[in-house]
Copies of this chain bind each other. A is one copy, B any other.
């Protein structure tokens, strides 16, 4: 097909999903768009998140994408259903892959979820889990300090450990869960800290890995897998500081990113075309 796959996120957190997509689908070309200027989406209203997401989507639809991955839990919670209905290409969010992976590994059907205020308030994870298995009990917790912490690059050390420990305290007090979903694409960057705090008996699920795997299946299912012999150049777009974006991206990817462009979204239509 030789069409790219579009990936959108509120900022740089979705790069953890993009990295997994590129690793698990090395014969595909990706276009990533991170709305870093208006990040984080977590504390924003549903209306705002929907408008911003549609602006990103409409920008990418002009680039002939064959699939859209919403690499942001907040945007997935508020817009997945309408995007699946409105877009002419398959749309994948990060919530259901995490939910399905958790159901696969949980033995006691008690699953924890951590995420932004928006994601947790939307109840998207409990709904996704219970729609598959009513017997599942969910303990969810909003962790507002985590995104700013990761964006500032505080990923290890005593200060990070202290923040993680204090924030997760309420979840630890109800610690009958055997599985914990990292319901925010920033959180894989502090997965080790979370694992340490929760204990090794808890299976921690990264939505990025799971989403990449499901994207792979949906492409195969539509017979839409590409077959590039050498990994093609991926394109990255940001709405904010380019050098900051490049620095973060280069610290996460094995090779420096080559194509990075600034994009202005305010003038793009903020609803279905």
Kindly supply a per-residue 1/0 record for chain A positions 210-232, scoring 1 wherever the CB is within 8 Å of any chain B CB and 0 otherwise: 00111011101100010101000
Number of chain A residues whose Cβ lies closer than 8 Å to a Cβ of chain B: 28
One of A20-28, A139-147, A251-259 at the interface: A20-28
Inter-chain contacts of A229 with B (CB < 8 A): 134
- Chain B's nearest CB lies how many Å from the CB of A235? 21
Q: Are A26 and B135 in contact (CB under 8 A)?
A: yes
- Chain B's nearest CB lies how many Å from the CB of A228? 9
The answer for the CA separation of A25 and B133 in the assembled complex, in Å, is 7
Whether a CB of chain B sits under 8 angstroms from the CB of A44 is no
Whether a CB of chain B sits under 8 angstroms from the CB of A103 is yes
Q: Are A131 and B225 in contact (CB under 8 A)?
A: yes
The answer for the CA separation of A213 and B205 in the assembled complex, in Å, is 14
Whether a CB of chain B sits under 8 angstroms from the CB of A209 is yes
Inter-chain contacts of A227 with B (CB < 8 A): 131
Whether a CB of chain B sits under 8 angstroms from the CB of A104 is yes
Inter-chain contacts of A35 with B (CB < 8 A): none
Inter-chain contacts of A220 with B (CB < 8 A): 96, 100, 132
A132-B225, A221-B218 as given contacts; A104 in contact with B25, CB under 8 Å: no
The answer for the CA separation of A27 and B132 in the assembled complex, in Å, is 7
Q: Are B132 and A25 in contact (CB under 8 A)?
A: yes
Whether a CB of chain B sits under 8 angstroms from the CB of A101 is yes
Give the interface SS of chain A, mostly helix, strand, loop or mixed. helix
A96-B220, A217-B217 as given contacts; A24 in contact with B135, CB under 8 Å: no
Could you pull out 30 A-B pairs where Cβ atoms are within 8 angstroms? A24-B100, A24-B103, A24-B104, A25-B132, A26-B133, A26-B134, A26-B135, A27-B132, A27-B133, A27-B134, A90-B221, A96-B217, A100-B213, A100-B216, A100-B220, A101-B213, A103-B213, A103-B216, A104-B209, A104-B213, A131-B225, A131-B227, A132-B216, A132-B220, A132-B225, A214-B217, A217-B217, A217-B218, A218-B221, A221-B221
Q: A24-B103, A100-B216, A214-B217 are known contacts; what are 14 more A-B pairs with Cβ within 8 Å?
A: A24-B132, A26-B132, A26-B135, A27-B132, A27-B133, A27-B134, A96-B217, A96-B220, A100-B217, A103-B216, A104-B212, A132-B216, A134-B229, A218-B221
